[in-house]
Amino acid sequence: MTATTGGGFVSLVGAGPGDPELLTVRAARRLEAADLVLYDALVPPEVVAAAPRAQRFRVGKRAGRKAVTQETIHRLLIRGARQGKRVVRLKCGDPFVLGRGGEEALALRAAGVPFEVVPGVTSVVAAPQAAGIPITHRGLATGFVAVSGHADASFRPIVESLAPNGVTVVVLMGLRARARVAATLLEAGWRRDTPAAIVLAASRPEMQQWIGRLDGLGDAPLESGDAPGTIVIGDVVGLGALARESRASETSAAQALGR
C-alpha cells in the first residue's frame, strides 16, 4: 500500500521504566521533535515533558480500568501521520515487551504508514537492577524468563516448562496475582525458601521494594496504590540484599568522610 502521509511518520518509542535519564538518546530526540505524542498511563509526566512542542494525549489503561481502545489508538496514529505529523507513540519500558507494540506496528504497516521502533529499557531488567539484583549471576542463574502474571492460562504453562529453581523468573503484571504466581511455582516444585522480590515504581523517586521468600510472596504487604510493580523470583534475589548492604556501607563511609 502507498504511504500518503505528506512527511508524516510514527515512532513507536520505549520510554523506559520512568526515570527520564533512562530514555535513550534516540527516544529523547524523537520526543523533542514530535508534533503529537500518545502516551501510556504508566509513563510519568517528567518523561512526557521531553516533548515540549507536541500535543500530548494519554491513552492506554491501568489494570482493570477502561481506557482508549487499541483500535482507537491505531486510528489516531494513522490519522496523525496522514496529517503530516511526526507522531510518537510513547510506551513504558520497551514497545515490544508485553506491551502490544507489535499490534501497533502491524496496523501501521497495513495502513501503509511509515514507522520505526525505538527500543526502550524494559522493566524486565530495570526493576531487578534498581533493587540491586543481577538477574543472571554466574553460579546462581544462567538465564531468565520474563512472563506476564496476569492470566493463569499464560503463566502456568511457562512455569511448568521450567526446571524448578533453574532460572530467574521475572513477572510483569503480576502484583494482584502474586499469591497465585507463588502457588503455581511451589506446585511446580520450586523451593519454599527461594528468594523473591517485588519492586514497585522502579527508577522513580517513589520506588519501594519488598524482599522475602517465595512462600511469603502471596502475603507480601503492598502499599502500591497505583505504582507498577515487577516480581523477581530466584536465588539471584539474595544478591539484592548484598547490594543494599554495600549501599549502606557506602553511606556510612561517606558520612565518616564528612561528605
Ligand X SMILES: C[S@@+](CC[C@H](N)C(=O)[O-])C[C@H]1O[C@@H](n2cnc3c(N)ncnc32)[C@H](O)[C@@H]1O
Only segment of 66-74, 87-95, 234-242, 249-257 that touches ligand X (CB under 6 A): 87-95
Only segment of 48-56, 77-85, 122-130, 248-256 that touches ligand X (CB under 6 A): 122-130
Confirm or reject binding of residue 129 to ligand X (CB under 6 A): no
Tell me the helix, strand and coil percentages in the chain, rounded to 5. Answer: 35, 20, 45
Only segment of 189-197, 198-206, 208-216, 242-250 that touches ligand X (CB under 6 A): 198-206
- DSSP assignment, residue 4? -
Q: Is there a catalytic annotation at residue 61?
A: yes
**In the complex, least distance from residue 202 CB atom to ligand X, rounded to whole angstroms:** 3
Spatial separation of the C-alpha atoms in residues 78 and 52, rounded to whole Å: 22
Q: Using the minimum distance from each CB to ligand X, give the nearer residue, 20 or 229.
A: 229
For ligand X, the binding residue among 5, 8, 18, 27 (CB under 6 A) is 18
Taking the mean position of all CA atoms in its chain, how far away is CA 231? Answer: 11
Asked if residues 236 and 141 have their Cβ atoms less than 8 Å apart, the reply is: yes
**Could you say which of 19, 91, 94, 173 is catalytic?**
173
**In the complex, least distance from residue 83 CB atom to ligand X, rounded to whole angstroms:** 27
Q: Is there a catalytic annotation at residue 1?
A: no
Spatial separation of the C-alpha atoms in residues 74 and 11, rounded to whole Å: 13
Q: Using the minimum distance from each CB to ligand X, give the nearer residue, 78 or 172.
A: 172
Q: Which of 146, 138, 63, 32 is nearest to 13 (CA)?
A: 32
Q: Using the minimum distance from each CB to ligand X, give the nearer residue, 148 or 186.
A: 148
Asked if residues 53 and 144 have their Cβ atoms less than 8 Å apart, the reply is: no
